[in-house]
A and B are shown apart, each in its own frame.
Chain A
Amino acid sequence: MISGSFEYHRPKSLDEAVGLLDQHGDDARVVAGGHSLIPMMKLRMAMLDHLIDLQAIDGLKGVREEGGNLLIGAMTTQSELIADPTLAAKCPIMAETALQIADPQVRYCGTIGGNVANGDPGNDMPALMQALDATYIAQGPNGTREIAARVFYEAVFFTALQDNEIITAVRIPTPPDGHGHAYEKQKRKIGDYATAAAAVLLTMSGGRCATAAIALTNVGDTPLYAEDAAAALIGTAVDAAAIDRAVALAEGIASPAADARGPVDFRTKLAGVMVRRAIARALERAA
């Protein structure tokens, strides 16, 4: 449980960090909170020669609202997300989800940037980002580009991010006032990744569902954006039949691995249960 040796860098600017990444390519990684990367290094599943710490770079932290969007700096920690008043008022599902991540110690260190960049299907933020239709802002040697969360994840630990790019911020369209939301997660214990989890956002208008978004955590190689399941709710009164359809469609796209959390059939069904419960709670909360 001791990592291989590596060189530690602590750049002062983003340009410097990107420069180091570009220079060392495959042999380098950025470290944010270190709570996914360092364990992998200790298990020697991640072997790298250069570790580039983002902690000393100014301007990567904090939450602000701007032109109908919420902008969250990549280095904002999970505990800062939980305490943030803007998010509490405009997008409370952020805190609800962040509270389901690990334990307080981990949340003091772990960042939103690290959580979404990591590419582990067990991370909770990616599915939420898909449900919220977030965009990741990435900086590389050739400038900045934007990548939608819904197309970012390719396979376990494979994402659309290039080796020499750093995520600087996450941009979320501010959900409308009165939206309903819920993040339901089942885990075996505190500090565990989801056996299955679901994020649901919806708005109601005149007793009918006007918009809906659903995404699933840890029941596939990537977070799963359940577009059809959400579509099954839109236009309905979110009655039992609509919910059954949405649940069935969500189960239909789940393809979890069998592991100590349970066999495939259990985790698939559980994804459906999480969706069902999240819809019910979101509906209760919707104005």
Chain B
Amino acid sequence: MNEATPSAEVRTQKLQGLGTARKRVEDVRFTQGKGNYVDDMKLPGMLFGEFVRSPYAHARVKSIDTSAALAVPGVKAVLTAEDLKPLNLHWMPTLAGDVQAVLADEKVLFQFQEVAFVVAEDRYIASDAAQLVEVEYEELPVLVDPFKAMDPDAVILREDIKDQEEVGGHGPRRHPNHVFTWDVGDKANVEAAFDAADVTVEEFISYQRVHPCPLETCGCVASMDAINGKLTVWGTFQAPHAVRTVASLISNIPEHKIRIVSPDIGGGFGNKVGVYPGYVCSIVASIVLGVPVKWIESRMENLSSTAFARDYHMTGELAATKDGRITGLRCHVIANQGAFDACADPTQYPAGFFNIVTGSYDIPVAYLSVDGVYTNKAPGGVAYRCSFRVTEASYLIERMIDVLARKLEIDPAELRIRNFIKKEQFPYQSALGWEYDSGDYHTAMDKALQTVDYPALRAEQAANREAFANGETRSLMGVGVAFFTEIVGAGPIKNCDILGLGMFDSCEIRIHPTGSAIARLGTISQGQGHATTFAQILATEIGLPADNITVEEGDTDTAPYGLGTYGSRSTPVAGAATAMAGRKIRAKAQMIAAYLLEVHDDDLEWDVDRFVVKGAPERAKTMAEIAFAAYNSVPPGMEPGLEAVSYYDPPNMTYPYGAYVCVADIDVDTGVTDIRRFYALDDCGTRINPMIIDGQVHGGLTEALGIALGQEIDYDEIGNIKGGSLLDYFLPTAVETPVWETDFTEVPSPHHPIGAKGVGESPNVGGVSAISNAVNDAFAHFGLTHTQMPHDHWRVWKTAERLGLTG
């Protein structure tokens, strides 16, 4: 190092690597309206597709008359199941190993199911013509209640598979409307624990059907090049490579002749993981008509037909000693899958990672069983900003702990602390089969409780309760505590695949001669800021400034194969691949530097952005210098160039966790819940970009608020979807959103190359529990154990009324 060399701090700062609040490079275009979304695409000769959808939830399709629609000038084609049959594309596989009708084949199974696809010169003509397609239906009895699905006299929904013994390889079905039973744990030991317990509690806890509702709806442009036989599809895909493989498998087009591109995506939250009839119909229409075909969902189509989330109806039980040691957990779930099982769960996990239901607690024995059933509701079952079914599991245990706390008259925060897995127990083997890699729950909880001054909150609540009893106020204060553990970063190929594709991820790096780089990944950002954060990971690994590194994702012709972005897997898996590929680059760079400096490799050490000779710091080669040398003066026998690729198969999941506290005031006369304070402490391991983490937490908490206080995709008894528009579906705005206080601890994941665990979904998982616990807590002293979400005005008012509190 000579005098001209800036200090290590200055050089580190310049890299904008790990730990810096680097501004999002994406925002330059997003904030100027210069993003490029699917619906911005215009190709010469492009046509537009529009669906004819079923008004009924369950009906036989007697006939379809397309003649009036075809007669409209500008209409090019009207596709029905009959047209898709010869191509064997009238049904398609779902990610859960079930099949789904692309266009209704003989019957419709949910309201707004796709029945025909009208293709026309513009959207307006397509919409007008869609109204002219005449479909004759014969209505059938409708089944919406999942608890009646397996009644002996229940109407059979899926006639196509009624004799099939199992769906998706998940074991025998007990009824034609039964999809699967999934059970985990030791039933007998759990029974013994319950028999021996001082105290047991049981509660029925529903997690209502909701929808991820990204701002951008789903859509695509399919373009078949008749000359070279190559199909290109630009679309709202959270997993472009998986889409390419599925498209190849179902269409028999060779995979190298398919290019899938995800351009900018306006939010996904799980909604854009699956394959939808709109994609298949656009592809077929483009093949048949020889021109590009665009399909874009309306908001109501998005809410009513593509990928809902949750709809889990859970019975939880805990056994404990009188001093509050939990000795067993038992739980049964009825999972309402809708008309087709289109969950995006890894193959071995029909109920996702619901077996994380033991939460953050050292529960010695547990038993879980989940029954999936069909109903006349829209298909889906995606992970709405969470890892597969983790938010349902977390909600159940976090509510159950509160229920047990009431029964034992132990403070809910204290009960959690008594049962936490201790720091020294990690790696911890859970009763339902997971190996928690790391954590320090006690420290996180202590910090949270101290920051919010928890004892003072409880004292204030006691005063509020007295004032309420004396008629001095009509407002009740609730304090909700939640401590969640997520399981993200799916995942190790040994236990995670989707349709047989192992859930690794990838990164490919090329260093340019002048010291800049491009990194391509198998994931795809939908707002997470990958172009910003992955460049930061790499900047720290290879010593080139993040500003000199382009991150590119989403084009299957250029990006390495990956399983995409959902389940907080990008940082744990693709982020790890990025670091590993960066290390390969650095290893080669070290050899080149040694050659240039005429020393042995081992005589060099890494110093922020350069290799220096040990003991002679003035002799150094910066990464930029090495990059140039890689193209003209590599050691004899070495290939020129500086590139690397890494496919990362994670050894384990990662287990982010957090302690959340919510303080709410409830007006018992109006049912209005006001979130007065919300504190969120997250431990996502190594923090790559604190500003982006804050942004992710703010967004996730806002969704959690939406779910806990209002979101619901509801159906009436004949299967009409109620409120499938933003008039009713609760998307909180800035006005409804409280100030989010964020905080952190930092326990790195021991097996991840940089110790990062993922954060995008934690706030949705923990936030719902904290808010719901606060609402329940407000009424707890009146004997309430649980009231169902969403805690919207009328339901809260009804709760107050049932407790005799309304005027």
Contact = CB atoms under 8 A, between A and B. Distances in A.
Interface of A: 1-2, 4-5, 44, 103, 186, 188-192, 195, 260-263, 266-267, 269-270, 273
Contacts of B670: 186, 270, 273
B158 interface: no
Contact of B672 (A2, A44, A186, A191): A186
Q: Which 10 residue pairs across A and B have the least CB separation, nearest first?
A: A262-B794, A1-B298, A2-B127, A260-B728, A266-B794, A260-B723, A190-B735, A190-B733, A273-B669, A266-B797
Contact of B732 (A1, A189, A261): A189
A118 to B, nearest CB: 15
Interface in B656-703: 669-672
A192 B726 CA distance: 10
A269 B299 CA distance: 33
A195 B793 contact: yes
Contact of A1 (B299, B671, B722, B736): B299
B735 A263 contact: no
A53 B84 CA distance: 45
A1 B792 contact: no
A195 B128 CA distance: 35
A262 B300 contact: no
A103 B728 CA distance: 16
B806 interface: yes
A4 B366 CA distance: 58
B794 A189 contact: no
Interface in B23-45: none
B123 interface: yes
Contacts of A103: 733
25 contacts: A1-B300, A2-B123, A2-B127, A4-B128, A5-B124, A44-B131, A103-B733, A186-B670, A186-B672, A188-B730, A189-B710, A189-B733, A189-B736, A190-B733, A190-B735, A260-B723, A261-B794, A262-B792, A262-B793, A266-B793, A266-B794, A266-B797, A269-B797, A273-B669, A273-B670
A176 B431 CA distance: 74
Nearest to A266: B794
Contacts of B512: none
B710 A266 contact: no
B547 interface: no
Nearest to A39: B727
B798 A192 contact: no
Interface in B124-157: 124, 127-128, 131
Contact of A189 (B123, B131, B735, B797): B735
Contacts of A189: 710, 730-733, 735-736
Contacts of A192: 727
Interface in B775-807: 792-794, 797-798, 806
A1 B123 CA distance: 10
Interface of chain A, helix or strand or loop or mixed? loop
B735 A2 contact: no
A40 B298 CA distance: 15
B806 A263 contact: no
A260 B730 CA distance: 11
Interface string B100-137: 00000000000000000000000110011001000000
Contacts of A266: 671, 793-794, 797-798
Interface in B712-750: 712, 714, 722-723, 727-728, 730-733, 735-736
What size tier do the contact residues of chain B reach? 20 to 34
B128 A188 contact: no
B81 to A, nearest CB: 25
B735 A262 contact: no
Contacts of B123: 2
Contacts of A186: 670, 672, 793
A260 B299 CA distance: 18
Contacts of B127: 2
Nearest to B792: A188
B777 to A, nearest CB: 22
Contacts of B298: 1
Contact of A262 (B727, B730, B797): B797
Nearest to B301: A1
A5 B299 contact: no
A272 to B, nearest CB: 9
Given A260-B722, A266-B798, A273-B670, A188 B793 contact: yes
B797 A260 contact: no
Contacts of B798: 263, 266
A193 to B, nearest CB: 8
Best-surrounded residue of B128, B670, B710, B728 (most CB of chain A within 10 A): B670
Interface in B191-219: none
Nearest to A263: B794
B497 to A, nearest CB: 38
A130 B345 CA distance: 56
Nearest to A184: B670
B733 A191 contact: yes
B48 to A, nearest CB: 10
A186 B674 CA distance: 13
A266 B796 CA distance: 10
Nearest to A244: B807
Given A189-B710, A190-B733, A269 B806 contact: yes
Contacts of B728: 260
A208 B735 CA distance: 39
A174 to B, nearest CB: 33
Contacts of B794: 195, 261-263, 266-267
A262 B123 CA distance: 36
Given A190-B733, A260-B712, A266-B798, 11 more contacts: A1-B299, A2-B124, A186-B793, A189-B710, A189-B733, A195-B794, A260-B728, A262-B794, A270-B793, A270-B797, A273-B669
Best-surrounded residue of A5, A263, A266, A269 (most CB of chain B within 10 A): A266
Contacts of A44: 131
Contacts of B131: 44
Contacts of B714: 260
A106 B798 CA distance: 32
Interface in B286-317: 298-300
B542 to A, nearest CB: 47
A81 B322 CA distance: 64
A49 B798 CA distance: 46
Nearest to B667: A273
Nearest to B474: A273
B375 to A, nearest CB: 20
A194 to B, nearest CB: 12
A266 B806 CA distance: 10
A182 to B, nearest CB: 15
Contacts of A263: 794, 798
A191 B736 CA distance: 11
Contacts of B299: 1
Nearest to B671: A266
B111 to A, nearest CB: 16
Contacts of A188: 710, 730, 792-793
Nearest to B672: A186
B738 to A, nearest CB: 14
A49 to B, nearest CB: 13
A61 B8 CA distance: 67
Contacts of B730: 188-189
B299 to A, nearest CB: 7
Best-surrounded residue of B300, B669, B793, B794 (most CB of chain A within 10 A): B794
B663 to A, nearest CB: 21
Contacts of A191: 733
